[in-house]
Amino acid sequence: MDKFTIRDLNLYYSGFHALKSINLNLPSNEITAFIGPSGCGKSTLLKTLNRMNDLVEGCRIEGDVLLDGQDIYDSRMDVNHLRKRVGMVFQKANPFPMSIYDNVAYGPRTHGVKNKTQLDEIVESSLRGAAIWDELKDRLKKNAMGLSGGQQQRLCIARALAVQPEVLLMDEATSALDPISTSKIEDLVLELKKKYTIIMVTHNMQQALRVADNTAFFLLGEMIEYDRTEKLFSVPSNKKTEEYITGRFG
């Protein structure tokens, strides 16, 4: 089953054609990686999946993005509900300047959960889901800004999980982290795909190879190749993919 179906997607930033006729299906409960040199449109495509580009002035989209068969750009789509279903984790961990508990409870509270017991349960299960409960359970009232970078990023994943999303978008979520924190997040992502569909932008080809089921390679706004990760990295169909993955450019 495909979670997202992208058909003939074109995206313009004012006069600039940033995504060119993208056609792509993203399977449920799998990890898909977007790779390609800087500026090729990976983040732009990721952001179209929960309409984060709506916030960019002059951004215009043509084509279809379907989530479970439903057009997310349809005027009847409730964007807040969409962003609850399709959560996002950014390159730089961005905890709110408040306690660990309040960071995770923030989303559920916004969506109307007030009951303390229920919030306690959500906070615990989300922190467990992000593999950081044991490290943080005795300091839930402490300010989140005091955590290490790797802990902050797992807290941000917990915060995303707290509203029970179906999809997790990760935009270079480990690029600011050391190898140990990166490896913890990669293990976590592999665990999370049992429940969620994960789409990640990464500059790290080894990371795509380690965790992604599928990989899409982009160049100057075009999707050059999309395949099972193993196939794309071992026998790419396109010469440009081969040149990129062998480090000949980018």
Residues of this chain that bind ligand ATP (CB under 6 A): 13, 16, 18, 36, 38-44, 56
Q: Based on CB atoms, which residue is closest to ligand ATP, 122 or 208?
A: 208
Give the C-alpha separation, 200 to 153, whole Å. 14
Report the candidate in 144, 170, 31 with the shortest Cα–Cα distance to residue 90. Answer: 170
Q: Based on CB atoms, which residue is closest to ligand ATP, 38 or 117?
A: 38
Give the C-alpha separation, 127 to 100, whole Å. 10
Q: Based on CB atoms, which residue is closest to ligand ATP, 41 or 108?
A: 41
Does residue 185 contact residue 174 with C-beta atoms inside 8 Å?
A: yes
Q: Based on CB atoms, which residue is closest to ligand ATP, 20 or 109?
A: 20
Q: Where are the beta strands (DSSP E) in the chain?
A: 2-13, 16-27, 31-35, 59-67, 70-71, 86-89, 167-171, 197-201, 214-219, 222-228
Q: Based on CB atoms, which residue is closest to ligand ATP, 195 or 203?
A: 203
Write down the least CB distance from residue 227 to ligand ATP, Å.
19
Does residue 13 contact residue 59 with C-beta atoms inside 8 Å?
A: yes
Sign of CA dihedral 79, 85, 86, 89: positive
Write down the least CB distance from residue 90 to ligand ATP, Å.
11
Write down the least CB distance from residue 114 to ligand ATP, Å.
37
Write down the least CB distance from residue 220 to ligand ATP, Å.
8
Q: Based on CB atoms, which residue is closest to ligand ATP, 30 or 171?
A: 171
Give the C-alpha separation, 151 to 157, whole Å. 10
Give the C-alpha separation, 233 to 138, whole Å. 43
Write down the least CB distance from residue 207 to ligand ATP, Å.
14
State the CB neighbour count (10 A cutoff) for residue 115: 10
Write down the least CB distance from residue 11 to ligand ATP, Å.
8
